[in-house]
Amino acid sequence: MPAAAVDPWERHAGWWQEHFTAGADPEYTEQIEPLVRAWLPPGGTVADLGCGEGQLARLLAEAGWERVLGIDPSAAQLALARARGGGPAYVRGRVDAVPLAAGTVDAVLVCLVLEHVADLDAALTEIARVLRCGGRLVLLLNHPLLQAPGSGWVDDHILGEQYWRLGGYLTEQVGEEEVAPGVRLPFVHRPLHRYLNGLRRSGLALEEVAEPAPAAGFQARAPEYDAAAEYPRLLGLRCVRAA
Ligand SMILES: C[S@@+](CC[C@H](N)C(=O)[O-])C[C@H]1O[C@@H](n2cnc3c(N)ncnc32)[C@H](O)[C@@H]1O
């Protein structure tokens, strides 16, 4: 198959695995992993949708969940997930067409996935369908307000100004982002109300919100971010599936 015809996440699975898993990324070790542990105390069956190479699925198994299912469309991610073991079972599938029966899971985790999915409403409908009533969703996103495309810290030495620039926010944009040289991945920007209203319409009631400050280990690697510590990179939403 020509390289361009291969799904970008399949093509760049190795890049993700090298830079963001197995302790390589302080945003996972210092921020995402503790939040997932705190928000998903063990109890029954949990599905990690868009699980990648399974780092959070393994964490949930280790935390004591009885059954952990990792689901991802990328064969390369699932191959490494299976090789790394640790207890979860893995199935190939998508968050917008989840290969599970209705009402069969007690919790769903979706971490840094929906920004790459074109049909948000299909994904939220599927999440609500597979959750039992009273089950929990933990959704982690790049902060939709502060990390909109074109946003970032500006240090203007000529004018002597430092500020956080906000990129275009209100317009939903489907595009590609060059996240590293030669690594282009699909990225969908949506304003926050699209997520919050979509969750509510799908019967997923908001319980808790987290906007953690940038991780210390991230800032140690990006000192220019020091002055921007007031601007979160991550948004966490915990929801409960209404009856
Ligand atoms: C940024 S990685 C996050 C992986 C994992 N959730 C983690 O936090 O380690 C994004 C993942 O989303 C997956 N993905 C892309 N489109 C998807 C879709 N429609 N449904 C489910 N997963 C998808 C990719 O294959 C990739 O593994």
Q: What is the pLDDT of residues 131-142, one digit of tens each?
A: 999 999 999 999
Residue at 22 is within a domain: yes
130, pLDDT greater than 90: yes
According to DSSP, residue 144 is labeled T
What pTM was computed for the model? 0.95
Average pLDDT over all residues of the chain: 93
Residue at 167 is within a domain: no
Residues 24-62 pLDDT 10s: 999 999 999 999 999 999 999 999 999 999 999 999 999
Find out whether the beta carbon of 12 lies less than 6 Å from any atom of ligand 1.
Answer: no
Residue at 80 is within a domain: yes
Distance CA 60, CA 231 (A): 28
The one-letter code for the residue type at 78 is L
Distance CA 169, CA 96 (A): 24
Find out whether the beta carbon of 84 lies less than 6 Å from any atom of ligand 1.
Answer: no
For the segment 95-123, the average pLDDT, to the nearest whole number, is: 97
Residue at 91 is within a domain: yes
Nearest CA to ligand 1 atom 18: 94
> Which residues form the domain of 70?
3-143+191-241
219, pLDDT greater than 80: no
Residue at 203 is within a domain: yes
Residue at 47 is within a domain: yes
Find out whether the beta carbon of 151 lies less than 6 Å from any atom of ligand 1.
Answer: no
Q: Quick one: pLDDT at residue 70?
A: 98
Residue at 155 is within a domain: no
C-alpha torsion 201→206→211→212, nearest 10:
-130
- The number of domains in the chain is 1
The CATH number that applies at residue 17 is: 3.40.50.150
Q: Quick one: pLDDT at residue 224?
A: 65
Find out whether the beta carbon of 16 lies less than 6 Å from any atom of ligand 1.
Answer: yes
Task: Using the mean position of ligand 1's atoms as its centre, give its distance from the Cα of residue 53 in Å.
Answer: 9
Residue at 57 is within a domain: yes
